[in-house]
Structure 1
Amino acid sequence: MDDLRRIDLNLLLTLHALLAEQHVTRAAVRLHKSQPAVSHALAQLRDIFQDPLLMRRGAGMALTPRAQDLLQPLSTALQHLNALLQEGSFDPRQTVRRFRVAMSDYAAHLVLPTLVRRLRDEAPCVDLGVCHASREAMLAQLADGEIDLALGVFPEAPGDIVIDALFEEHFVSVADSHTLPKRGRLPLDTWLARPHVLVATRLDSGSEIDAALATQGLHRHVALVLPYWRAATEVLAGTDFILTVASRTLEHLPHDQGLTWFMPPVPLPRFTFQQAWHQRRHADSAHHWLRGLVMDCSRPLTAPQTNRRSKGSP
């Protein structure tokens, strides 16, 4: 208890911002304080912990080993304290807060419009920051406290990451209608022989589709890799490309593109779309409310019918 008398809560909040941002100016912006005030607080913290905490490295700054050891327990302690203070008093209409959420443009297309409308209606003072990352990066950002929530598919997550299912999905293939038989389906050998489009955030990343094919001794030729779901459908017209994606990606496919979607001629596993958060956020009442809101915004989602042709298709 004697050690606690040497430091106040504001200094701990400043310390957390400095460790998370690794930059005095960005920490000042995050805290809504002046840079000199944060620099003064950093000097106090260095004296208290008898450690530089942040050291100049190249053009930026890096955490010392002591600071790296402090970040995780400090984040957890502040989250627990915040939950304690908010317990029983959370009111979304009165809450002023910014949530940081990572999601692909697939999730943004499906969930974000409804989520934003609900936020404006129910919590007008809650802001939302959305970023895009691979699933590995999302999990790392959750662990480091850089984001509050991640939407995606997380088949393998660390034990300190909590996973909640939002809805189940399945894969559908899409192609230019003029390159398909009238029934809109392809035999397996033709489907495998055609060039394929893969949507991935990293050029060297694998996919559940190729993993499933490999277990059956099959292989497809991926001729184009890109990170954008919408652009992936737009490049199909006038080519012999095949795109195999989550079915709900195609819910609002423009009717004038002349595309047809159909079930792949090979068994592909269904998968569950999820939301994930670090366990340090679990007891945060505002975070709990946000997770419930995301769940509500995900419930109405329905998959499109397969083997449907766009208007104007032959």
Structure 2
Amino acid sequence: MSPINLNLLRSLKVLLEECHVSQAAAKLNITQSALSRQLSQLRDMFADPLLVRDGNQLVPTPKAVSLLNKLDHWFVELDELMIEAEFVPLTWKGEFVFASSDYVAQYLLPEMVESLSVYAPNVSIKYCLWQPTLLGQMANSEIQLASTMSPEPPRGVSSWQIGEDYPVCVMKRSHPLSEKSVLTVADILNYSHIKVIGGGDKDTYIDQALAEQNKARHIALKVPFFSAAFRSLCMSEYLMVVPEHIARNMQNHFDLVFKSLPVKTPKHKYWLLWHSKFDNEPSHVWARQLVYDIMNHSEYSIGYDSNS
């Protein structure tokens, strides 16, 4: 079947309403000769004269009358299709899938849930633990929004930067190194470390810097969750390298201190990211703005510090 020219169908609708070529042409803002050519095309398309002359009048055929009834209904639906309904969070129904580290899940996700439950009470929220390998799967993944760390804007997706800081070395307050104002490389290598492996790399920079000196940390404990890592830290003489905003916020919950690293590292940069298919989807636009605001203004937020 050949593609249907919507302009032809709109011309047919006006012709059948007016039953007058010159009046229909004026209404369509085209010349009478152009509309006559269109009428000829329409007659061929529908294998019917559509309009027949009776004296000075054009009379629609039975098929034309049937077509006009269908065109009236069809163009109403088409016009509704082209007019995007206003998005109302209170009536939004569906599932919103968010992925992040367990730190975000534990300390920021509850605020997101609270806001969504108030402003969009019919939405179901699903949380997934983010891993860097998921980045290349965003097009077909159920994940709609994710937060992660990356030195540059993540490729292949849309993103907003939500903050930046540097990694620091964390220890319990009674640790032998806690009184030192400046740590040395020997200091951080004299103690075993805890590594958080859930939600993506958070201490790669220190390992890269040490590798340039042909040195490496001893990782005594690998866990996917920050809560387990910090509890273990406070019950041992282990060290842990984490982003500064996490260390600073965790001082409100654990008896710990943090120190600058004795090696130079790049900044950690934090992003909200989503597949570009969601760029203009109204519910996603609204939800990601809500998440962005929470991640910037919560007491546990990363915060954006351009002076870091």
TM-score, normalised by the number of residues in structure 2: 0.63
Contact 2:151–2:268 (Cα < 8 Å) also in 1: no
Q: Establish whether residue 277 from structure 1 lines up as the match of residue 285 from structure 2.
A: no
State the alpha-carbon separation in 2 of the partners of residues 296 and 145 from structure 1.
24
Deviation digits for residues 263-299 of structure 1, max 9, x if unmatched? 2222222211111111111121111111111111012
Q: Structure 2, unaligned stretches of length 5 or more?
A: 5-80, 302-308
Quote how far apart the aligned CAs of 1:91 are.
Answer: 0.9
State the 4+ residue runs in structure 1 displaced beyond 6 angstroms.
Answer: 1-4, 202-206
Two-structure CA RMSD over aligned residues (Å): 3.2
Do the aligned partners of residues 203 and 293 (structure 1) sit closer, same or farther apart at CA in structure 2, a change above 3 Å counting?
A: closer
1:198 aligns with one of 195, 199, 203? 195
Q: Establish whether residue 134 from structure 1 lines up as the match of residue 131 from structure 2.
A: yes
Quote how far apart the aligned CAs of 1:117 are.
Answer: 1.5
Do the aligned partners of residues 237 and 160 (structure 1) sit closer, same or farther apart at CA in structure 2, a change above 3 Å counting?
A: closer
State the alpha-carbon separation in 1 of the partners of residues 174 and 282 from structure 2.
53
Q: How does 1:203-218 map to 2 (within 5 A)?
A: 207-215=204-212, 217-218=214-215
Quote how far apart the aligned CAs of 1:224 are.
Answer: 1.7
Do the aligned partners of residues 130 and 85 (structure 1) sit closer, same or farther apart at CA in structure 2, a change above 3 Å counting?
A: farther
Contact 1:212–1:269 (Cα < 8 Å) also in 2: no
2:88 aligns with one of 83, 87, 91? 91
Quote how far apart the aligned CAs of 1:216 are.
Answer: 5.3
State the alpha-carbon separation in 2 of the partners of residues 85 and 223 from structure 1.
60
Contact 1:103–1:150 (Cα < 8 Å) also in 2: yes
Quote how far apart the aligned CAs of 1:244 are.
Answer: 0.9
- Structure-2 residue corresponding to 1:111: 108
State the alpha-carbon separation in 1 of the partners of residues 250 and 202 from structure 2.
27
Q: Structure 1, unaligned stretches of length 5 or more?
A: 5-83, 305-314
State the alpha-carbon separation in 1 of the partners of residues 234 and 154 from structure 2.
41
Contact 1:93–1:125 (Cα < 8 Å) also in 2: yes
State the alpha-carbon separation in 2 of the partners of residues 212 and 86 from structure 1.
55
Deviation digits for residues 16-68 of structure 1, max 9, x if unmatched? xxxxxxxxxxxxxxxxxxxxxxxxxxxxxxxxxxxxxxxxxxxxxxxxxxxxx
> Residue type matched to 2:209 in 1?
A
Quote how far apart the aligned CAs of 1:204 are.
Answer: 11
Quote how far apart the aligned CAs of 1:259 are.
Answer: 2.5
State the alpha-carbon separation in 2 of the partners of residues 164 and 108 from structure 1.
19
State the alpha-carbon separation in 2 of the partners of residues 229 and 143 from structure 1.
29
Contact 2:101–2:130 (Cα < 8 Å) also in 1: yes
State the alpha-carbon separation in 2 of the partners of residues 297 and 205 from structure 1.
21
State the alpha-carbon separation in 1 of the partners of residues 263 and 97 from structure 2.
38
State the alpha-carbon separation in 2 of the partners of residues 173 and 181 from structure 1.
10
- Structure-1 residue corresponding to 2:144: 148
Percent identity over the alignment is 29
> Residue type matched to 1:121 in 2?
V
> Residue type matched to 1:271 in 2?
H
Contact 1:142–1:150 (Cα < 8 Å) also in 2: no
Contact 1:162–1:276 (Cα < 8 Å) also in 2: yes
1:123 aligns with one of 104, 120, 125? 120
